[in-house]
């Protein structure tokens, strides 16, 4: 009978430790933590304990939150700051203590929330991973949620990649504009040049490059929803004579002879084993002296596994894989691209995610109406967790600039970088 009478608040107090800055209230009437804590966690049903005990690492917490069995009052990022590290660091002794207090009934297998993707094993053979068909399905599952939902989260720029803040206090929109302009300057864009933007999203880079640098641009994306929104926007801006957005796999681009290629946030989706072929393909699309700017999330070092796991793999980016910056640099050089510059924008992505979190909070009711409560909870958790991961240097963001040299080794670039900050 001891197991059944153990207050849930006591259990979470053990999980969080004595210095936790969150309070806990539970369905059994128990509580723990300081009453004046800035963040309160509500354990609404025994299902939260089932998920926590039966799921590894962060997956249990994610399932409980997405299902609504565990809720947060206050800033979700602050709650994660207190929760995630403690749960990830549970020792065998801690788990044995939880088992004694909660009882074996909480070890039962519980059906995950509807928003969860199957495990990698259930999704199919490794050999099929990152085939065109499977990549298309993975992209659609994440990006084809609702264009209106993305407008609420991302803001007017519709830029779903790391912004670059020119100074402290810059707005998210200013930082996204600055990011696109920085990429244009690193690529050395000039009027009349031909630009290819792979993984173009809602077309922000294409529109900026055409409007401000006078180039002709082609953008491609695997998301049908993105392509339709982006092409409509290109037409509304009066740029259709110089810009086009296609619903197309980058591997199916037939044009060649580009002066520049931008890849902003695509590499995370192609798979580590495909990185060499990816850079070879893009290098072949460039003219001599043509530049490639690859902007993507990276692992902090090569000891970290390529494949995403847990919550991110099951709810956010199925089949997503990250590489360390050195692996990307090596692959670019092996593909015939000479790397001329690399920049880590890790802190900028944390700031970007903070902006997206604020947008989602501000428009929460409309987001739930548009995409559903479960999907909105997935996004709230994902954005806050990624912000924390960038701050802790669990992941990074690198822009790497390469050039296709001519036969004599000429690279057509100034002796020193000329794109400023």
Q: From 71, 91, 107, give the residue that closes a domain.
A: 107
Look at phi and psi of residue 52 and say left if phi exceeds 0, alpha if psi is from -120 to 50, else beta: alpha
33 found inside a domain: yes
Q: Is the pLDDT of residue 421 over 90?
A: no
What mean pLDDT comes out for the span 28-43?
89
Number of domains in the chain: 2
The pLDDT confidence band at residue 54, using thresholds 50, 70 and 90, is confident
For the entire predicted model, the pTM comes to 0.90
What mean pLDDT comes out for the span 341-358?
98
pLDDT in the model for residue 100: 78
The answer to whether residues 14 and 153 belong to one domain is no
Q: Which residues pair with 297 in a beta bridge?
A: 397
The answer to whether residues 323 and 227 belong to one domain is yes
Q: Tens of pLDDT along 174-191? A: 999 999 999 999 999 999
Q: Which residues pair with 219 in a beta bridge?
A: 197, 245
415 found inside a domain: no
Q: Is the pLDDT of residue 321 over 70?
A: yes
Start-to-end C-alpha separation, the chain: 65
Q: For residue 78, what is the domain's CATH number?
A: 3.30.1050
The answer to whether residues 138 and 100 belong to one domain is no
Q: Is the pLDDT of residue 343 over 80?
A: yes
343 found inside a domain: yes
145 found inside a domain: yes
421 found inside a domain: no
The answer to whether residues 176 and 249 belong to one domain is yes
96 found inside a domain: yes
The answer to whether residues 77 and 42 belong to one domain is yes
Catalytic residues: 386
The answer to whether residues 204 and 61 belong to one domain is no
Query: What range defines the domain where residue 79 resides?
Result: 2-107
Strand order from edge to edge, sheet including 22-26: 31-32, 22-26, 39-43, 70-73
Cα angle at 343 between 278 and 335, to 5 degrees?
25
Q: For residue 181, what is the domain's CATH number?
A: 3.40.50.150
Q: Is the pLDDT of residue 123 over 60?
A: no
Contacts of 183 (CB under 8 A, 6+ apart): 205, 262, 264, 293, 295, 399
The answer to whether residues 311 and 391 belong to one domain is yes
377 found inside a domain: yes
The rounded distance, in Å, linking the Cα atoms of 129 and 280 is 20
The answer to whether residues 397 and 326 belong to one domain is yes
Strand-strand pairing, 258-264 and 194-198: parallel
The answer to whether residues 102 and 137 belong to one domain is no
pLDDT in the model for residue 262: 98
Is 20 or 78 the better-scoring residue by pLDDT? 78
The pLDDT confidence band at residue 91, using thresholds 50, 70 and 90, is low
123 found inside a domain: no
The pLDDT confidence band at residue 230, using thresholds 50, 70 and 90, is very high
The answer to whether residues 14 and 156 belong to one domain is no
The answer to whether residues 82 and 182 belong to one domain is no
The pLDDT confidence band at residue 3, using thresholds 50, 70 and 90, is very low
The answer to whether residues 141 and 93 belong to one domain is no
Query: Cα torsion for 31, 36, 41, 45, to the nearest 10°?
Result: 30
């Amino acid at each position: 009978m001891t197991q059944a009478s153990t207050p849930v608040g006591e259990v979470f107090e053990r999980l969080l430790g004595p210095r936790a800055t969150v309070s806990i209230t539970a369905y059994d009437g128990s509580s723990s933590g300081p009453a004046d804590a800035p963040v309160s966690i509500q354990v609404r049903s025994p299902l939260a304990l089932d998920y926590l005990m039966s799921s590894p690492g962060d997956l249990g917490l994610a399932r409980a939150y997405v299902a609504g069995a565990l809720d947060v009052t206050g800033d979700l990022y602050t709650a994660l700051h207190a929760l995630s590290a403690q749960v990830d660091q549970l020792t065998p002794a801690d788990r044995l203590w939880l088992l004694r207090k909660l009882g074996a009934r909480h070890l039962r297998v519980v059906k995950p929330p509807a928003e969860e993707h199957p495990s990698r094993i259930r999704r199919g053979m490794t050999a099929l991973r990152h085939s065109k068909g499977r990549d298309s399905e993975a992209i659609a599952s994440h990006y084809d949620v609702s264009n209106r939902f993305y407008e609420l989260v991302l803001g007017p720029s519709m830029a779903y990649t790391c912004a670059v803040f020119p100074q402290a206090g810059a707005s998210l929109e200013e930082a996204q504009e600055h990011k696109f302009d920085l990429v244009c300057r690193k690529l050395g864009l000039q009027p009349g040049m031909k630009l290819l933007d792979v993984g173009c999203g809602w077309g922000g880079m294409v529109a900026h490059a055409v409007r401000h640098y006078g180039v002709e641009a082609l953008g491609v994306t695997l998301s049908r929803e993105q392509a339709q929104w982006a092409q409509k926007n290109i037409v509304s801006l009066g740029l259709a004579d110089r810009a086009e957005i296609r619903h197309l796999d980058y591997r199916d681009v037939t044009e060649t002879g580009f002066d520049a290629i931008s890849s902003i946030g695509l590499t995370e989706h192609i798979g580590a084993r495909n990185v060499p072929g990816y850079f070879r393909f893009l290098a072949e699309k460039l003219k001599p002296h043509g530049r490639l700017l690859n902007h993507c999330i990276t692992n902090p070092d090569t000891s970290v596994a390529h494949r995403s796991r847990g919550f991110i793999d099951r709810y956010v980016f199925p089949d997503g894989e990250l590489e360390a910056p050195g692996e990307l640099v090596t692959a670019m050089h092996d593909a015939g691209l000479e790397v001329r510059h690399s920049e880590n924008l890790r802190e900028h992505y944390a700031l970007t995610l903070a902006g997206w979190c604020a947008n989602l909070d501000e428009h929460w009711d409309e987001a739930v109406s548009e995409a559903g409560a479960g999907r909105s909870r997935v996004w709230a958790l994902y954005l806050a967790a990624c912000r924390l991961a960038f701050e802790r240097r669990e992941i990074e963001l690198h822009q790497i600039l390469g050039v296709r040299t001519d036969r004599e080794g000429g690279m057509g670039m100034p002796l020193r970088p000329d794109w400023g900050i």
